[in-house]
Amino acid sequence: MTLRTLESLGSLAGKRVIVRCDLNVPLRDGVITDDGRVRASLPTLNALINAGARVIVCSHLGRPDGAPDPQYSLEPVAQRLSELLGAPVAFARDTVGPSAREAVAALDDGGIVVLENLRFNPGETAKDDQTRRAFAADLAELGDAMVSDGFGVVHRKQASVYDLAEILPSAAGLLIATELDVLDRLTENPERPYTVVLGGSKVSDKLGVISHLLPRVDRILVGGGMLFTFLAAQGHDVASSLLEKDQLDTVRGYIAEAEERGVELVLPTDVIVASSFAADAAHETVAADAIEQSTFGAAGIGLDIGPDTAAAFADAVRTSKTVFWNGPMGVFEFPAFAEGTKMVAEALTDVEGLSVVGGGDSAAAVRQLGFTDDRFGHISTGGGASLEFLEGKKLPGLEVLGWQ
């Protein structure tokens, strides 16, 4: 498989290079609460700065519906980027307007500017090819080359991801190259035992991943809100816990396929059930097949895997050579229901092999729980794009860079 990398662009000294990053960070009252995606962009940006390029960073943030909205401004990101780079970072208050043109024209070799949120322009996400292409053409006027480095958006056929890469000489940045290497190792000849840990709220979000990975893995551990659909598929009452009734037949099919393939499908033996969905809710640990028998009866809601399950999951993770984890084990934002996620994260740091944390919620969880990025083999910034890759889907933002 081929992928155009930075080297394919030749000397970039003095050239204007548009870098499509994924800086879609969580903000609270204008303050970044997790700067992981900003830090993930640094290797490529530093490489371009050191090469003497004039760097033009563009990204989306949130869903502003094609019009300027101050709460989705990238200005806090530009400020954080300046702090991390230890150098001034200019900020353009539009994407292709006078502010952007003026800021780009003022760049010196090795200088950097961040453009305002791409999604303030309806052309970025337009379904109509001509509308999208017109916006990409306006963007292209700002640069001489384009580097795609936001893996989290390569599954989108959007102006700055797809069309811009067709208009300008383009290549993948270091982050995309790293993500692809890791994802390739998860799907092609992984070192065994190979364990996948799946959590998060919905089974429906993970259907393609389960289907594609079942023939490739040794163990699948199921936690998070999705575990209750698995328990219900086995005939257990899950009281008021999250349940996707329309997925029960699909889940039964996966349970049968796992058994047929000899894949160990590990479901919780105990769960923590609460009286309501609240940080201070009364709660207790019960057997996974007796949720309705908790003190709270039919009103009980499962919010985390239990201690026995967490210990078993941690042991399974530690004894693996390849681990892919996507989705927290419980409502980690509430301290009372974060222990399952914390124990799995801790075990992941002990893996002697490849350990991959995938998905924004998982990455946010490990950081919130006090783990530093360097304790894991790789923290993916790919989100939905990584899941689609693991489902075996073709991603337009990679194909336009030569990936087959």
Nearest to 89 by CA among 72, 73, 66, 108: 108
Q: Would the annotation count 236 as a binding residue?
A: no
Q: Is 300 annotated for ligand binding?
A: no
163 is in an annotated binding site: no
Residues linked to residue 324 through DSSP beta bridges, in sequence order: 196, 356
- 261 labelled binding-site residue: no
22 assigned ligand-binding residue: yes
Q: Is 39 annotated as a binding residue?
A: no
Tell whether residue 15 is among the known ligand binding residues: no
Which amino acid is located at 167 in the chain? I
Q: Which amino acid is at 374?
A: D
Question: Does 388 belong to an annotated binding site?
Answer: no
- Residue the block writes with tokens 């453009």: 115
Structure tokens at 181: 């290497």
Name the helix (H) or strand (E) containing 305.
strand 301-305
State yes or no: 392 annotated in a binding site.
no
**23 annotated among ligand-binding-site residues:** yes
Degrees (nearest 5) of the Cα angle 150, 173, 194? Answer: 75
Our answer to whether residue 360 is catalytic in this structure is yes
20 is in an annotated binding site: no
User: Which pair of tokens denotes residue 284?
Assistant: 């207790």
Phi, psi values for residue 272, rounded to 5°: -100, 120
Q: Which of 296, 251, 256 is nearest to 272 (CA)?
A: 296
Hey, which residues does 90 pair with through a beta bridge? 113
CA–CA distances in Å: residue 94 to residues 3, 101, 102: 31, 9, 11
Number of other residues whose CB lies within 10 A of the CB of residue 19: 24
Annotation marks residue 297 as catalytic: no
Catalytic residue among 111, 360, 383, 397: 360
Q: Both tokens of residue 380? A: 């993916």
Catalytic residue from among 15, 37, 80, 132: 37
Residue 37, annotated as binding a ligand: yes
Catalytic residue among 39, 93, 157, 202: 202
Q: According to the annotation, is 185 in a ligand binding site?
A: no
Q: Which two tokens stand for residue 363?
A: 């990455």
Instruction: Tell me whether residue 192 is annotated as binding.
Output: no
Q: From the annotation, which residues make up the binding site for ATP?
A: 206, 302, 333, 359-362
Q: From the annotation, which residues make up the binding site for substrate?
A: 22-24, 37, 60-63, 119, 156
Which residues does the annotation mark as catalytic? 37, 202, 360, 384
| Binding-site annotation, residues for (2R)-3-phosphoglycerate | 37, 119, 156
